[in-house]
């Protein structure tokens, strides 16, 4: 991941990290004691991370959420679950690697896990279409959810996509219908459903995995009806400048605390100071704890009550006056 570009506002952090690494290397090579020098630097690093991350703007959060250094769906599957067996294909047209899913175990119990999967390098991103599904991806996801329902197994979804794919094939094969069908079926699935936005939750492509009894969000994840770039381009004819993207990102209210206030999400999962990418294991541990706890509550409900509560929750969504 050395080739991953550092985010602008993270530069002071990465410079300090480099300094510490060099000192450690020097110590290793020349057997010099440097603990006395490293300790204050590490203290400074931790303070700096806290400082930078406490003051992230919505656009900066969006950039963090998109960072290829963050844990992806398959990372969380590896770290939170055991015994994962991936299931491929929608049985209709083809396999879509932008969404992965399969049987797994959480604390030894079988569950179904489904999530968008981005790539870390160009080759993987081409294969996974940058985590932007075609209709086949949504249909595979639905197939797996229905499979889970058949065997009375709860479903966990992990959301991490810039959005649906704007391409000819995706339209030809009915991505609107595919997304709509998922929303429809997820609203009445007879097993517990917990969705977590782990990175970028982009529009309909995200929502197609996002109708759930509980919707959780990682602290630095974002969730939006349109990208900040797209919004700025439509409203202010400028989707490129930092100023306009910042304006759109903050106007759209895409961060976890804002969405919690709007009652769109139920819980924010804390990330390690400095973001999930600084410590995949700690992030996964926090996610795992939240998934176990939320599932425990939902398991107590009979299917009809579960579905009734889920529907009631969505029927309340929105704000209006009368």
Partner 1 sequence: MAWFRKEKKPRAPRTERLEIPPDVWEKCEACGHTDIREKFIRSFNVCPACDFHRRIRAVEYARLLFDENSWTETETDIRSVDPLQFPDYAARVKKARGVADYDAILTAHGTMAEMPVGIGIMDFAFMGGSMGSVVGEKISRLAQRSLEKKHPLIVISASGGARMQEGVLSLMQMAKVSAVLSQLAERRIPYVSILTNPTTGGVSASFAMLGDAILAEPGAVIGFAGPRVIKQTLGQDLPEGFQTAEFLLDHGMVDAVVHRRDLKATVGRLLRHMSGKPAVAGWTTA
Residues that bind partner 1 (CB under 8 A): 164-168, 170-177, 179-181, 183-188, 203-204, 207-208, 210-211, 223-226, 231, 234-235, 247, 251-254, 259, 262, 264, 310-311, 314-315, 317-322
User: What span, in angstroms and rounded, lies between the C-alpha atoms of 248 and 99?
Assistant: 28
Q: Are strands 155-161 and 214-218 parallel, antiparallel or unpaired?
A: unpaired
Question: Nearest distance from residue 175's CB to partner 1, in Å?
Answer: 5
Question: Nearest distance from residue 5's CB to partner 1, in Å?
Answer: 23
Question: Nearest distance from residue 149's CB to partner 1, in Å?
Answer: 14
Helices 228-236/242-251 angle, 10° precision: 100
Closer of 106 and 178 to partner 1 (Cβ) = 178
Closer of 144 and 232 to partner 1 (Cβ) = 232
Closer of 284 and 307 to partner 1 (Cβ) = 307
Q: Are strands 109-116 and 99-106 parallel, antiparallel or unpaired?
A: antiparallel
| Residue indicated by tokens 């979804």 | 157
Question: Nearest distance from residue 136's CB to partner 1, in Å?
Answer: 14
User: What span, in angstroms and rounded, lies between the C-alpha atoms of 24 and 41?
Assistant: 12
Question: Nearest distance from residue 320's CB to partner 1, in Å?
Answer: 5
User: What span, in angstroms and rounded, lies between the C-alpha atoms of 135 and 241?
Assistant: 32
Closer of 92 and 242 to partner 1 (Cβ) = 92
Closer of 104 and 189 to partner 1 (Cβ) = 189
Of 195, 205, 199, which Cα lies nearest the Cα of 222? 199
**Under 8 Å between Cβ of 179 and 205:** yes
């Amino acid at each position: 991941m050395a080739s991953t570009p550092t985010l602008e506002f993270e530069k002071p952090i990465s410079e300090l990290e480099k300094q510490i690494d060099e000192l450690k290397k020097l110590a290793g090579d020349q057997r010099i004691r440097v603990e006395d020098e490293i300790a204050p630097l590490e203290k400074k690093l931790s303070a700096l991370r806290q400082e930078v991350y406490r003051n992230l703007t919505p656009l900066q959060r969006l950039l963090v959420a998109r960072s290829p250094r963050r844990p992806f769906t398959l990372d969380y599957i590896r770290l939170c679950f055991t015994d994962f067996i991936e299931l491929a294909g929608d049985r209709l047209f083809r396999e879509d690697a932008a969404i992965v899913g399969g049987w797994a175990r959480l604390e030894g119990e079988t569950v179904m896990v489904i999530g968008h999967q981005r790539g870390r390098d160009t080759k993987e991103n081409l294969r996974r279409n940058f985590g932007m599904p075609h209709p086949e991806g949504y249909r595979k996801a639905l197939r797996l959810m229905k499979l889970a329902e058949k065997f009375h197994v709860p479903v966990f979804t992990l959301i991490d996509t810039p959005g649906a794919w704007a391409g000819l094939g995706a339209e030809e094969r009915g991505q609107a219908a595919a997304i709509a069908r998922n929303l429809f079926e997820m609203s009445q699935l007879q097993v517990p459903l917990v969705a977590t936005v782990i990175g970028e939750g982009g529009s309909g492509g995200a929502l197609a995995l996002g109708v759930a009894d509980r919707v959780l969000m990682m602290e630095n994840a974002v969730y939006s009806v349109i990208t900040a770039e797209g919004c700025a381009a439509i409203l202010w004819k400028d989707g490129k400048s930092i100023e306009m993207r910042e304006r759109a990102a903050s106007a759209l209210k895409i961060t976890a605390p804002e969405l919690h206030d709007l009652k769109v999400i139920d819980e924010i999962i804390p990330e390690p100071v400095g973001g999930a990418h600084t410590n995949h294991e700690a992030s996964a541990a926090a996610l795992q704890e939240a998934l176990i706890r939320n599932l425990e509550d939902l398991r107590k409900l009979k299917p009809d009550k579960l579905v009734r509560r889920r529907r009631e929750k969505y029927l309340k969504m929105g704000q209006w006056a009368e």
